[in-house]
Structure 1
Amino acid sequence: MSDQHNPPSTRTVPPNVHVSSHPLLQAKLSQLRSSSATTRETRNLVHEIATILGVEAFASGWKATGTGKTDCTPLGLEYETQGIDPANIALVPILRSGLGMIEAINDLLPSAVPIYHLGLFRERFSLQPVEYYNNLPFQRSEQSSDINNAAASVAVLLDPIIATGGTAEAAIQLLREWGVQRVVMLSILGSEDGVKRAAACWPEGVEVWIGAVDERCNDKGMIVPGLGDIGDRLFVAIGK
């Protein structure tokens, strides 16, 4: 089917994938695709798109809940404070480019949460993910020294791009082995096959929230039309 009848933002995706239809996000994504966007503009657009994605993701399956604490308004009136459920959250950016989304999501949350990092890169020829950094804290269970209890029940996984899906799949499996009950992945753009691969690796435990889905990757594993190497664009590393 041609793109005229099946635009990138509405391609067929699994039920645990949520593609944004927010008009502001789509307008900003169009600006981000442009080769003329400066580094500063790129960083701002990634931040703004991540904010919209975060608002959409947190509006689904999350709820406000009382903290059991009270505070006073400027008029001296007491009120019960609210938090969010689940409260046991960790943010996990995939290095490098996931760092560009951290501030936006952290600012949305009502209180500070742990931030852990996963370093994964795609081997140049095989395009398979290689892990080079992982600071997920290992916690031993009281019942068994061999079982890891995650320090969070929900991991918010951040990576602007899901290209082949190999990196996303590897990160999700690492978080699952760590012991989280749920992974919420936020991405700006993905290829159709890559998004399906990420969503299928743990269907009951993963939600993918994404700005748009493009048709495919080229033979170098780059999404087309895509938006280039977002890590290089964020960190002025073009030509490395």
Structure 2
Amino acid sequence: MASTALLTPATERTSSYAPPSNPSLHVLDHPLYQHQLAHLRLAETDARAFRQRTRAAATVLCVEATRDLEVQAVQGQGPLATFEGDTVKERIGVVPILRAGLGLVDACLDLLPDDTSVLHIGLFREKKSLQPVEYYSKLPAQPTVDRVLIVDPLVATGGTAIACVHMIRDWGIPANKIKFLCLLGSEQGIQALLDACPGVEIWCGHIDKTLDGQGLMIPGLGDAGDRLFATLANH
């Protein structure tokens, strides 16, 4: 994994950007998450380390985003005595937006109930128009889950995120049962998602203020899919 020695102490913050105040938006404020994000941003972080740190960051994100899952009381026999506890009651579906969303799936599955479904949706952003294009969907004919967690590392312009949320809503999942989890978002993209998808909770690790002319976040962390799957040389 990338060495912390590649990161140097900052004398002061160059940005005091504050996320928009909206009850549907949750931006993480956790030291362990910020530690992983700093290493994800490093150009020197190779694909293996990028995958490991993405998984670690996604673990923190998933824990924070699932605080309100409905539970049911249970009891069982332990090694020394009977016990009472809680288990998650809801049927949950994790929806990765292909392909970069795959990098967040295992972290979620490590934590969520064993019967959690993974429902793949393929969307990409057309390079010239920056509009989303659907190329794959593996949703059953009827909803098989009670709650959906959509996962994608980045929300830049917000187009693919919005398209995915609309697909899940059209499938039959109400907005208040959809959560969108991302490691990093742009101010513009997060606001677009809030405006287009009222009622959907957004859990974002951090928000960058700037997008460049190609719709890339600055400073961002580059193309998450290419960095996860070591395909940078293909461009």
C-alpha RMSD of matched pairs (Å): 1.5
Within the candidate set 80, 93, 96, 1:90 is matched to: 93
Does residue 112 of the first structure (1) align with residue 115 of the second (2)? yes
Amino acid in structure 2 at the alignment position of 1:101: L
1:95-174 equivalences in 2 (<5 Å) = 95-139=98-142, 150-174=143-167
Q: Distance in 2 between matches of 1:162 and 1:13?
A: 18
Percent identity between the aligned chains?
40
What corresponds to 1:177 in structure 2?
170
Q: Does 1:197 align with 2:205?
A: no
2:45 equivalent to 1:48: no
2:217 corresponds in structure 1 to 223
Query: Which residue of the partner structure matches residue 208 of structure 2?
Result: 214
Residue-by-residue CA offset, 1:81-127 (whole Å, 9 max, x unaligned): 52124x12111000001000000011111323111100000111101
User: What is residue 143 of structure 1 aligned with on the other side?
Assistant: none
Matched to 1:26, the amino acid is Q
CA distance in 1, matches of 2:61, 2:21: 17
Once the two structures are TM-superposed, the CA of residue 239 in structure 1 deviates from its matched residue by 3.0
Deviation at 1:55, TM superposition (A): 0.8
| Cα distance in 1 between the residues matched to 2:104 and 2:198 | 24
Structure 1 segments of 4 or more deviating over 3 A?
none
Q: Which residue of 2 aligns with 1:57?
A: 65
Does the residue aligned with 2:61 lie in a helix, a strand or coil? helix
Q: Which moved more, 1:108-117 or 1:32-41?
A: 108-117
Contact 2:184 2:204 in 1 (8 A): yes
Separation (CA, whole Å) in 2 of partners of 1:199 and 1:108: 27
What's the TM-score, normalizing by structure 1?
Answer: 0.87
Q: Secondary structure at the match of 1:239?
A: helix
**1:11 maps to 2:4:** no
Structure 1 unaligned segments of length 5 or more: list them. 140-149
Structure 2, unmatched stretches of 5+, are: 1-12
Q: Which amino acid aligns with 2:125?
A: R
Counterpart secondary structure, 2:232: coil
- Cross-structure match for 1:71: 76
Aligned length: 220
Say if 2:91 and 2:115, in contact at 8 Å, map to a contact too: no
Question: 2:227 aligns to what?
Answer: 233
Q: CA deviation at 1:218?
A: 0.9
Partner SS, residue 156 of structure 1: strand
Q: d(CA) in 2 for partners of 1:81 and 1:21?
A: 29
Question: What's the TM-score, normalizing by structure 2?
Answer: 0.89
**Equivalent residue of 2:117, what SS?**
coil
> What is aligned with 1:39?
47
